[in-house]
Structure formats: C-alpha cells, structure tokens
Amino acid sequence: MNNELKVKEKNNKLFFIETWGCQMNEEDSEKLSGMLKKIGYERTEVKQDSDLIIFNTCCVRENAELKVYGNLGALKKLKDKKPDLIIAICGCMMQQEGMAKEIVKRFPFVDIIFGTHNAYKFPEYLNRVKQEQNSIIEIQNKEDGIVEGLPIDRKSDVKAFVTIMYGCNNFCTYCIVPFVRGRERSRKPEDIENEIKDLISKGYKEITLLGQNVNSYGKDLEPKVSFANLLRRINEIEGLERIKFMTPHPKDFTQDVLDAIAECENVCEQVHLPVQSGSSRILKKMNRHYTKEQYLDLVRRIRETIPDVAITTDIIVGFPGETEEDFEETLSLAREVQYDSAFTFIYSRRKGTPADEMEEQIAEDVKHERFNRLVEIINASSAKNNKKYEGRIEEILVEDFSKNDDTKLTGRTRTGKLVNFPGSKDSIGKLVKVKIVKANSFSLIGEEI
C-alpha cells in the first residue's frame, strides 16, 4: 500500500505531540509528525501554544496508562480556554477493548481517538473533525497491510530507526503487545533497503532495525528472507557506518544470525537480549520457550563469536508465582551474565493476558523489595563493564551537545555506551576517535584525539 498526501502551504497551525512507550511508538509519532508537516502544520514543544495536541499512548504497564489519564485530565482547562483546540489520542492503549468508550466517558472533550492500525489515516480524521459535532472514534481490530511511503519527521539527523516488521506472534503470558499490535508482518527487503539508502543520502550514519521480534523477520514473506540475510544485505549498502537491531528473542537467535553479526563489519557489537526471568520454571509460565541454561549457553556463544560485545536485557520481577528461590535464580543469572545495562520492570497485571488470570499474584511490597535487590546487581555490573573502557580509544558517533553542558558533545560507542567529551559543533554527525578518561556508572567521559 502506498500513501500519498497533498503537500500544503504552511497553515500557521501548531501541533504538540507526546509519546509514551517503546521505540515503535516513537516511530509512529515521527510518522504522525511527518504527515502533519506535509499538510502544513508545524511542531511546537509548548502545549499551551498548540492548535492540535496528540497523545500517543502505551499500555505495556499500568504506570504508562496512569500517566496518560493524568495528562488528559490536565487538558480540560486548556480546552475550556481554547475551544478550537483539537485533542487526539492514539496508540496501543486505544487498541484495548472498551478503552475508547472509557476515554469518551471520562474525557468527553477529546476530539479524535484512533488506534495503531489506522494511524496513517490521521489527516483524514483531522479533516472530518472540523465538520462533525461528535468525537471521532476509529479503532480497527485487524491490521491493514503495511503502508509504505509515509513521510517521517525524525528526531535525530544522525541515527534513525527503521522498522523491519510489525506485530508479534509470541504471546508471552504477561504481555499485551500481541493484542494491540497484531500479528507479525515483515516489510519487503527492497523497501527497507530503499529507506536506508535515502537516509544515507541525507547524512545518517547509524540505523537501528526495529521489530518486536526481529529474528523472526521474513518468515511471512514470499520468498522467505531470513534476518541473517537481511543483515548481510544491509551491510552491503554503501555509506552506512553502523547497523544495530532491536529486539531479538532468545528462542529465535540462530547460529546463522550470530555468524552474520560477526561477519558484517557494520553490524555493531551490541546485543539486547531480553531474559525476563532467570528461573526456568517462571520462563515456562511466561511462555518464553527457553530455559535458564539455554539462555546462558546463548550468551556464552554470543561472547565467543563477538569479542567485546555489550549485552543488555529486560527483566521482570514479581511474575505470578515467583518464589524467593525463583527470584534468586534471576539474581544468579544477572551476576553470571554481567549485563552492561538492563531495563528492570515490576510485573504489572494487564487485562486480557493469561498471567492476569493466574493465581499467586505477588504482593506489591515483595515486588519492590526484589526490584531493588536486582537493580543493585545490574548497577554493579554496569559500572564494572564501564570501567573496562578507561584508557581505551573508541569510535564515537557524535549525536549532539550534551544535555547538561553545551561545551560538551555526546555520542555513543559501537557498543552503545554513552560518552561525553569536550568538542565543537563541527563534530556533530561525525565519527570521531575519543580516548576514554573516566568511567561513571551510566556514562563515560572522554577526550577527542
């Protein structure tokens, strides 16, 4: 499917967009921004100034939803002051059954509600809202085919995310994603390659290939294309410096993928490998299809094949039925792997998922206590891994000035470590050599050489 928008003159209208959740949502917001700019809107970071406010929501944990409710409630006053203000709400949270109705009931001033499968129709809804009296609610339960050719207004000029597949077929028992993002659909390799070539022509140096389970890429294509082969094809593209990818599933991490990472000089030495739990018993209840031993064996093979690789992960504590012994298995796994960093989550009950129906839900105080113990171990291994960088000379892709200090630049190593160092504007967007002089727990300090 292709989507053509008529380019309009600037209409002096401003939009504000706030995004919660994962990189997929960020990318959807970049597409919404791209479409809006094409039809004449400009972006503002000041909510009060805007003519259109969009909330792109997440529902992977309850916290994310609570933030949306809080932010929506706060808009009532603004809408009273500016009745022409258009308020739109979209994203994963809206795909849940009954949610759109709930939003209309609690926040009747919302003008447009749409879901993840029809975001590409947003300009049409905007047009309609001006004529219609009632709120527009457009939620599609079934995914359309992949819509190619949408304009994307990217946040960074240096590194870009490129979605290679949408949806997820895994149904981990705690996870809402398969219910709100639909089944796996892979983009054609030619479309991915063309998008990357276009990005390179605009000066981008780093691409992260995105998908909920990237290493099951291409199984739905005719002819089939494996993720390993996609990596090899992208590695051949002239002018690209760095290839990263997110997120692989341990159960689908074949030797072929490992070999491709090792072979392709542009694929970076960084693997995000969500483990979720270190207890084989809990992994089974989570429907993850691997044991602790199989995961550890995969980590061993990754380290063997890719020297100096940085390994990061996602871990959930307090899954239903997790005993102290199960949790200690998670701690022992974290100590053994020595992660470079980890996203640690407290299990959150999600309606409609099998884990929500399980007995033996864990008490909040127990979950929090376990969470703190885990974070301590992760922080210790992050600091220890960072320390190894002291004295090394690293290739840094310079992204911008440092957030807190505009005499310093900020960028990342091939392994994803954040490095701050003194430097000038000219280096932004370039690869530079930096000597690491000091390691902190969460970042490195360097000097350009």
**Nearer to ligand 5AD (CB atom), residue 353 or residue 415:** 353
Nearer Cβ to ligand 5AD (52/176): 176
Min CB(73)–ligand SF4 separation in Å: 29
Residue 292 CB contacts under 8 Å (≥ 6 apart), including other chains: 278, 279, 280, 283, 329, 333
Binding string, residues 197-216; x marks residues near ligand SF4 by CB under 6 A: ---------------xx---
Cα–Cα distance for residue pair 147/81, rounded to 1 Å:
37
**92 marked ligand binding residue:** yes
Contact status: 343 vs ligand SF4 (CB under 6 A): no
Kindly list the distances between the CA atom of residue 413 and the CA atoms of 272, 309, 428, 434, 445, in Å, as whole numbers in the listed order.
15, 11, 14, 9, 12
Interacting span for ligand SF4 (CB under 6 A) from 92-100, 167-175, 198-206, 433-441: 167-175
Is 90 annotated as ligand-binding? no
Residue 95 is a binding residue for ligand SF4 (CB under 6 A): no
- Judging by beta carbons within 10 Å of its beta carbon (0-12, 13-18, 19+), is residue 182 exposed, middle or buried? buried
Q: Please provide the DSSP assignment of 189-207 as one string.
A: HHHHHHHHHHHHHTT--EE
Assess contact for 449 and 423: CB atoms under 8 A: no
Q: Indicate the residue type of 178.
A: P
In the bound state with ligand 5AD, the residue whose beta carbon lies nearer, of 151 and 354, is 354
Q: Where are the beta strands (DSSP E) in 354-415?
A: 393-401, 408-412
Closest distance of CB 217 from ligand 5AD, Å: 18
Any binding-site annotation on 175? yes
Are 122 and 91 in contact by the 8 Å Cβ rule? The answer is no
Please report, as ranges, the residues that interact with ligand 5AD according to CB under 6 A: 60-61, 174-175, 274, 276, 314, 316, 345, 347-348, 350
Among 99, 175, 243, 334, binds ligand SF4 (CB under 6 A): 175
Residue closer to ligand SF4 by CB (options 135, 213) is 213
Q: Phi-psi bin for 263: left (phi > 0), alpha (psi -120 to 50), beta?
A: alpha
264 assigned to a ligand binding site = no
Q: Is 168 in the site for ligand SF4 (CB under 6 A)?
A: yes
Max Cα distance, the chain (Å): 65
**In angstroms, what is the minimal distance from the CB of 343 to ligand 5AD?**
7
Number of residues that bind ligand SF4 (CB under 6 A): 10
State the binding partner of 316 from ligand 5AD, ligand SF4, none, CB within 5 to 8 A by kind: ligand 5AD
117 alpha carbon, distance to own chain's centre? 17
171 touches ligand SF4 (CB under 6 A): yes
Residue with tokens 């809202």: 129
**Which region, judged by CB under 6 A, interacts with ligand SF4, from 7-15, 172-180, 192-200, 320-328?**
172-180
Which listed residue (178, 321, 354, 416) binds ligand SF4 by CB under 6 A? 178
When the beta carbons of 24 and 362 are compared against ligand SF4, the nearer one is 24
Q: Kindly indicate which of the ranges 30-38, 85-93, 152-160, 173-181 contains the residues binding ligand SF4, using the contact rule CB under 6 A.
A: 173-181
249 binds ligand SF4 (CB under 6 A): yes
The residue among 334 and 397 lying less far from ligand 5AD, judged by its C-beta, is: 334
Q: Which is nearer to ligand SF4, 85 or 257 (CB)?
A: 257
- State the burial class of residue 113 (Cβ atoms within 10 Å of its Cβ: 0-12, 13-18, 19+): buried
**Per-residue three-class SS string for 102-136:** HHHHHCCCCCEEECCCCHHHHHHHHHHHCCCCCCE
Burial environment of residue 71 by CB neighbours within 10 A (0 to 12, 13 to 18, 19 or more) = middle
SS3 305: helix
Judged by CB under 6 A, the stretch of 31-39, 165-173, 380-388, 433-441 that binds ligand SF4 is 165-173
- How far, in Å, CA of 43 to CA of 30, rounded? 11
Residues making up the binding site for [4Fe-4S] cluster: 22, 58, 92, 168, 172, 175
Residue ranges that bind ligand SF4, judged by CB under 6 A:
168, 170-172, 175, 177-178, 212-213, 249
